[in-house]
Structure formats: C-alpha cells, structure tokens
Amino acid sequence: MSNLIKEKINQAIQILQEEDIDCWLTLVRESGIVHDPMLDFLIEADVTWLSAFIITRTGESIALVGQMDRATIEELGVYSSVLSYVQGIKKLLLSTLQRLNPRQIAVNFSEESEICDGLTHGLYLKLVDYLKEINLEKKIISAQKVISRLRARKTPTEMDRIKRAIVQTEEIFSLVTDFIKPGRTEREIADFMIAEVHRRGLGFAWERSHCPAVFTGPETAEAHYRPTDRRVEPGHILNMDFGVEVDGYVSDLQRTFYIRRPGEEAAPPEVSRGFQAIVTAIELARRKLKPGIQGVEVDRVAREYLVSQGYEEFPHALGHQVGRFAHDGTALLGPAWEKYAGKPFEVIEPQMVFTLEPRLKIEKRGIVTIEEMVVVTPDGAEFLSTPQKELILI
C-alpha cells in the first residue's frame, strides 16, 4: 500500500510543478473523527494529534506528527522527513514553513468541490493564527487544482484496483440474476448480494444501508433508499445500484432487469424502447467524452437525446468520477445546475474514470437505468465495465 502512497506523492510533486505552486499542506487532527479525504493518499492510518503533511514543488515530503503517531508514519518509508512533538505542533510547523518560505501554501478547501474540502473551518482559523506569526498567512490558496488532478489522474495501481472492483461487481450481478424471482423482496435480493460481498472479503462502495440499492416496480423511492419489503412482481422493472471496494478503490454500476409475465417471451415494447434509449444515450455520451472538452457537453448529449425521445430529463448528473469513493473527483459530467457549481465546466483529462448513468421512468413498470464505468484515453473514452446491451429477463 505504501507503494501507492509513493506513486501519489510523486504525482503531487509533478502537479505542483505543472501548476507552479510551491507547497501543498494537508492539516488534520483526530482523523478518525473528521477525516480529510486526502489523508488516504498521504498515510495509511489515522492520526490522533494535529498533524501536517507538506509536499513541495522541489520534491520534499515532510510529516509533522504527534510523538505517538511517529512510528506508524516513519515505517511507511515515504517521507523525506518525519518530525514529531509532544506538547504542540506550532514550533515545528512554523520553523518548517519559514525554512521553505513558499510563494503559495495550498490547503484543502473548496466551495464547489467537496472532495477538495477536507480542511475544517476551525483548523483553517488555527492555521491562519499560526501563519500570522511568521507573516505567511497571505500565502494560503485553495489546493483544489492540486487535489482534483491528483484524484483524477489514476496510476496503474489505482486502475488495477478499480478494474478488480468492477469484475467482482459484475460477477455478483451475474450470481444474483438467478436469485431474482417474483415474490422475493428487495431486501432478500440485497441480502443475497451482501452475503456474497462478505464471502469474497470485499468492502462496500458506499453506505451499507443501500449498497446494493434495489428498486422494483413503479412505486419506488427511485434512488438513495434502502431495499424494502416490496416484492418482485411480473410485469415490473427491477433495477440495482451496486459497487464494491477492493484495496480502497470502488466500482459503481447499475443494471436493469425485466420480470416477465407468464407467457411473455420478451419485455413489452415500451420497456424495450426505454431500455434501448438508455443504451443509446450511454453510447452517444461515451463517444462525446474525450480530453479537452467540458463535462457539461457530455451530459447534454445524453440529456437532450432522451428528451428528444419523449422522456423526462433525469434529475441528476449523467456521470461522476470514481476512485476511492463512488463519487470522487471534481470534474463532473453534469448540467449547469446550482448544486454542481463549476464542476461541469472542468476540463476532461486522460486517466479520469467516470460513470455514465442516465435514467428514465416507464409508467406502471419502473425505472430503467444503466450505469457503466469508462476511462478517458488520450483521444476518447473506453468502457471499463462490460456494458449492458440487453435487458436481463427474469
């Protein structure tokens, strides 16, 4: 695991050079209580006392930690310098920053990107107080650019973990297909999959209460809701949102099933038509996705296509990045809505991993939604998942 941390710290140095930023500072304390998501790229454990991890444009990596956290950090073998204290960090932090005398100190806050916003407001105030003593408080800038690139630019180790998470997810989708039958509840289907996750020693990609999320029929909560005692019924659509975690990296996929009525060979025309529209929307989006464009353009292709086919606009973004979290990164394939702020306007870069997940409703049947995962290549985007091209018929 510390190989990955070494890879990411080297990437961070590279990104600081690209962005011409002298110094990136991650400041945390009791990280088991409030956990800056960047910490997982910097160390393998939580820290108890106020701790600073400093990466510089010139290639230094410095950890300032409480004495009782020192052994754990040193043994990573990654930091060029590990310094520790008993009573308080201030002296160490100020002397280190005075020596570096950086033009900028990038810290982890952002109004628009939650993944770049791990610094708490109280710690920010404390940092400003400290820096005032050495007249560096004006050097503070947002680390959003550093963090966004660092999370987006997947290393080979990261890609390997994501691919393994996808394979596991697809295998569990296959297994559960035989388990889905009229009369079974959403809860029973979810429990079957959860048992399989445990059996395989995997983690869950998001909160366990709705991983997997299972929705059957037309009356569901639609998304972000736990499986219920609602039963699978013939004539209904069932869809699932599911992902697993492998070595800290996750997958996030959705699949759609149709439960045939007695005598039915295929799904009714309105269900097949809706499914086909989703498949087409995903393919149009994937072909649009490439380095240099903005996510809003990719979202628009899928959104406008579905509206042109007479469906309601889906009430969320077309796709998000995936990494350590199911919702990772800053750049988003989304519409220009208030809640997405500048994310849909970030420029797409190679090595970003995205989901593509349009949805639509079919009256009296349920929700059709497929979620695939793709990686941005130097000139396009490739599927990482095996795309669902046919309704799974039960």
Residues forming the site for a second copy (CB under 8 A) = 29-30, 32-37, 44-46, 48-50, 66-69, 71-72, 85-90, 109-126, 129, 142, 206-207, 209-210, 221-226, 315-316, 325-327, 337-339
Residue 380 beta carbon to a second copy: minimum distance, rounded to whole angstroms: 29
In the complex with a second copy, the residue whose CB is nearer, 167 or 194, is 194
DSSP 136-153: -GGGEEE-HHHHHHHHHS
In the complex with a second copy, the residue whose CB is nearer, 142 or 169, is 142
Residue 265 beta carbon to a second copy: minimum distance, rounded to whole angstroms: 35
Would you say 309 and 274 are in contact if contact means Cβ atoms under 8 Å apart? no
In the complex with a second copy, the residue whose CB is nearer, 57 or 316, is 316
CB-neighbour burial class of residue 265 (10 A; exposed 0-12, middle 13-18, buried 19+): exposed
Residue 236 beta carbon to a second copy: minimum distance, rounded to whole angstroms: 19
In the complex with a second copy, the residue whose CB is nearer, 30 or 264, is 30
Q: How many CB atoms lie within 10 A of CB 157?
A: 16
In the complex with a second copy, the residue whose CB is nearer, 219 or 264, is 219
Residue 223 beta carbon to a second copy: minimum distance, rounded to whole angstroms: 5
Residue 210 beta carbon to a second copy: minimum distance, rounded to whole angstroms: 8
Quote the crossing angle between the two packed helices 2-19 and 144-152, to the nearest 10°. Answer: 130
Residue 287 beta carbon to a second copy: minimum distance, rounded to whole angstroms: 27
In the complex with a second copy, the residue whose CB is nearer, 119 or 267, is 119
Buried b (16+ CB within 10 A) or exposed e, 187-205: ebbbebbbebbeeeebbbb
From the CA atom positions of the chain, what is the Rg in Å? 23
In the complex with a second copy, the residue whose CB is nearer, 3 or 209, is 209
Residues 263-272: contacts with CB under 8 Å, at least 24 apart: 264/234, 266/393, 267/391, 267/393, 268/235, 268/365, 270/362, 270/363, 270/365, 271/237, 271/362, 271/365, 271/368, 271/391, 272/391
Q: End-to-end CA distance of the chain, in Å? A: 41
In the complex with a second copy, the residue whose CB is nearer, 86 or 183, is 86
Residue 37 beta carbon to a second copy: minimum distance, rounded to whole angstroms: 5
Q: How would you write 237-260 as a 3-class SS string?
A: EEEEEECEEECCEECCEEEEEECC
Q: How far apart are CA 196 and CA 173, in angstroms?
A: 10
Three-state secondary structure call for residue 291: coil
Tokens of 223: 């998304």
Residue 52 beta carbon to a second copy: minimum distance, rounded to whole angstroms: 13
Task: Write the CA distances from 154 to 149, 195, 354, integer angstroms.
Answer: 9, 30, 11
In the complex with a second copy, the residue whose CB is nearer, 118 or 217, is 118
